[in-house]
Structures are given as structure tokens and as C-alpha cells.
Amino acid sequence: MAVGISPAEQREERRRLIAARLLTVRDELIAWFKTLASAAVYATLIVTFGFQVARVEGQSMAPTLADQDRLIVNKLAYRVGEPRRGDIVMLYYPINPDKSFVKRVIAEEGDQVRIVDGRVFVNDVPVPDEYVPQAYRSHDDYGPVTIPEGYYFVMGDHRNNSSDSRHWGNVPKKYIIGKVQLRWWPAPHARLF
């Protein structure tokens, strides 16, 4: 004759199984919460000190960058180095630092900038600007001016449609957020800079 399990023992076994499942679910929820909290901390650190996603608004950097292009900006680049001529940078607008712009560094501190009939000269040497199509060139004159220590002269690639250092002056280094490293959207036009 087989000995059966009493109903009380069956209920107790079910309670133990349910308790074990609840402990497993609780442990998994805690592990998920720790993972999400860690990811949030890492993401905050990366965005604050490392990289930032940005969107181009307007045509001032055309044809290099178009309106609504999505960018990755390297915020570490200028913590360990200095902006260089030709770098495409994201910066706070000097007149209203709540806004940010994307422009190209044309001259560094100590350089002399002069523009004659739209042709840009740095230290009396013409700036190579094959990235600026003829239709986007301006015909204005500017300078000469010497860029003070701790400042940079920036311009948009669409020279006749850009608000830049020609209009609002030099940009202090502390206003340069980072170097544009990548255009990731639209995907067919993705490119490293």
C-alpha cells in the first residue's frame, strides 16, 4: 500500500514552491534594477563628460552638414587637446549661451584673420576651402584681426548664409563643447570627421 501525501503537506509544499518563485522573481527584479541604475549612471557620465548627440538646425554648414543631420560630438577631445584649424565643433553661441551652434574653426589664438572678397587668409596664407562650393562663397571683406589668447575664430561652410565670428566675434575656448566626430543620420550619408 502506497503512502500518500496528506492535503496539509500538499498545501505546505505549494507554499514553499510559491515562496521560492517569489524569491527568484524578487532577485531578478533587484538585478534588473541594479543594471538599469548602472546604465543610467554610465549614460549620464558619458553624456556629461564624453559624448553628446546633436542635431544640425539650419543650412549654415552646408554642404558639409545639412539641416536635421544627427551628429556625435566628442566632448573629451578638447579636455585633452586643443581645437585646431579645420575642426568642426559644437559651441555655445557667445551672445546667448543657452543656444548651441556647429561651425568650423578657421583660426586659433595668436592667428591673424583677414577676408578679402570672400577669400579667407590666416597669417596671410589662403585657407584651403575646397569644401565651400562657389555658390556658397561670400564676397565680403573682414579684418585683419588677431585672435586673442583663449579664443577661436569660427565660420560656417555656407559662407553667405552663416552667422559666425564675422558677426559676433571670437569664441572663448570654454564655449566650445566638443569636436564633431560623426554624422550618423541620415544613414546613407554617415561619415567620420
- Determine which one of 6, 38, 60, 163 is catalytic: 60
Q: Residue 168's closest CA among 180, 157, 155?
A: 155
The question of whether 99 is a catalytic residue gets the answer no
Q: How far apart are CA 190 and CA 193, in angstroms?
A: 10
Distant-in-sequence, close-in-space partners of 184: CB < 8 Å, separation ≥ 6: 70, 71, 72, 190
Q: How far apart are CA 16 and CA 108, in angstroms?
A: 72
Query: From the CB of residue 184, how many other CB atoms can be counted at a distance below 10 Å?
Result: 15
The residue written with cell numbers 571683406 in the block is: 141
Q: Record the cell numbers describing residue 134, joined without a space.
A: 562657389
The dihedral formed by the CA atoms of 81, 179, 174 and 68, expressed in degrees to the nearest 10? 180
Residue type present at position 100: S
The dihedral formed by the CA atoms of 161, 165, 168 and 173, expressed in degrees to the nearest 10? 130
The question of whether 103 is a catalytic residue gets the answer yes
- Determine which one of 6, 99, 100, 103 is catalytic: 103
Q: Helices (DSSP H) in 46-129: which residue ranges?
A: 77-80
Catalytic residues: 60, 103
